[in-house]
Amino acid sequence: MKILVTGGAGFIGSHVVDAFIQAGHQVVVVDNLSTGHRENLHPKAVFYRLDMRSPDLAEVFEKERPEVVDHHAAQADVRRSVAEPLFDAEVNVIGSLNLLENAVKYGVKKFIYISSGGAIYGEPEYLPCDEGHPIKPLSPYGVTKHTVEHYLYLYRRNFGLRYLVFRYANVYGPRQDPMGEAGVVAIFGGHMLRGEDVVINGSGEQERDFVYVGDCARANVIGLERGEGAYNLGTGIGTTINEIFNRIKAITGYSREAVYGPVKLGDVFRIYSDASKARRELGWQPTMGLEEGLRRTVDYLRQQQ
């Protein structure tokens, strides 16, 4: 089938594109390259450098006629969402609505949407968080990512557009950019390989659920044929930032100690996901262990440097 992937030149989206093509599908990528990179693009993918908010998006739908939309593109910087909530909403809500309008107009059969398994729940009332956990986001990013889930329900009810939501935990792996807002694994690994100080915001006892990018890509392939509604994708295991630091320190041979800085506004302290629904209904579960996943990520960062 033909699949349009937004954000397909980005970290996670490019792995999803690779998995789709490996499974024998045709892939069209829409990416404005604001955070994505051309070198991530699969050579067999058809590429349009375009912002998903653009009115020109309709021309892509009219020409390519995708059967599935897989929507990974987003303003994903929590700190920027706090500083610029209007921009965050414009990209994540208005951009998604532009996709949904075109999906309905041009007969898309299924819409796969990437939400957040951390930012939308806020500070957990219980752990691990399942899909029924109360939605109490602490950042505009969490608000906008969940808002689109409501629109998806509306478009299913009003127009019959089938949809699937994946609420990713903290995704890490090769192609994660260590410069800027990229996630602690790539940031820590990049700084350690360059022999620079590594700053941990807060005490480092914050817990996150680290899920490997290849496992998330595999879920998207499964989602082409199976699943409706929302699914958490995670390991169900909380790992502290201090432990991530120490594991990467051992892998890289880094000799310095961590530098501790202020807590970042909008971050939850402890969260990890219950992905039993995905295991039960999709037959999906993570297969990559944390130690091996970290080693693969560091190997990739070494090659880049």
Average of per-residue pLDDT values in the chain: 96
Q: What is the CA radius of gyration of the chain?
A: 19
Asked if the model's pLDDT at residue 261 lies above 60, the reply is yes
Can you tell me the distance from the alpha carbon of 232 to that of 278, in angstroms, rounded to the nearest whole number? 7
The answer to whether 29 touches 41, Cβ cutoff 8 Å, is yes
Is residue 305 very low, low, confident or very high in pLDDT (cuts 50, 70, 90)?
Answer: confident
**CA neighbor of 235 nearest in space, from 291, 301, 170:** 170
Is residue 181 very low, low, confident or very high in pLDDT (cuts 50, 70, 90)?
Answer: low
Is residue 220 very low, low, confident or very high in pLDDT (cuts 50, 70, 90)?
Answer: very high
- What is the three-state SS of the chain? CEEEEECCCCHHHHHHHHHHHHCCCEEEEEECCCCCCHHHCCCCCEEEECCCCCCCHHHHHHHHCCCEEEECCCCCCHHHHHHCHHHHHHHHHHHHHHHHHHHHHCCCCEEEEEEECCCCCCCCCCCCECCCCCCCCCCHHHHHHHHHHHHHHHHHHHHCCEEEEEEECEEECCCCCCCCCCCHHHHHHHHHHCCCCCEEECCCCCEECEEEHHHHHHHHHHHCCCCCEEEEECCCCCEEHHHHHHHHHHHHCCCCCCEEECCCCCCCCECCECCHHHHHHHCCCCCCCHHHHHHHHHHHHHHHC
Q: What is the pLDDT of residue 177?
A: 81
- What is the three-state SS of 144-178? HHHHHHHHHHHHHHHHCCEEEEEEECEEECCCCCC
What would the pLDDT profile of 187-212 be if each residue is shown by its tens digit? Answer: 999 999 999 999 999 999 999 999 99
Asked if the model's pLDDT at residue 63 lies above 60, the reply is yes
What would the pLDDT profile of 147-167 be if each residue is shown by its tens digit? Answer: 999 999 999 999 999 999 999
* Sequence ranges of the chain with CATH classification 3.90.25.10: 172-207+237-272+288-304
Q: Sign (positive/negative) of CA torsion 293, 299, 304, 305?
A: positive
Q: What is the pLDDT of residue 79?
A: 87
The answer to whether 302 touches 193, Cβ cutoff 8 Å, is yes
What pTM was computed for the model?
A: 0.96
Residues 35-57: what's their mean pLDDT?
97
Q: What is the pLDDT of residue 183?
A: 87
Q: What is the pLDDT of residue 268?
A: 85
What would the pLDDT profile of 78-116 be if each residue is shown by its tens digit? Answer: 889 999 999 999 999 999 999 999 999 999 999 999 999
Residues 132-137: what's their mean pLDDT?
96
CATH architecture of 172-207+237-272+288-304: Alpha-Beta Complex (3.90)
Active site residues: 141
Q: What is the pLDDT of residue 178?
A: 72
* Sequence ranges of the chain with CATH classification 3.40.50.720: 2-169+213-234
Class for the domain spanning 2-169+213-234 = alpha beta
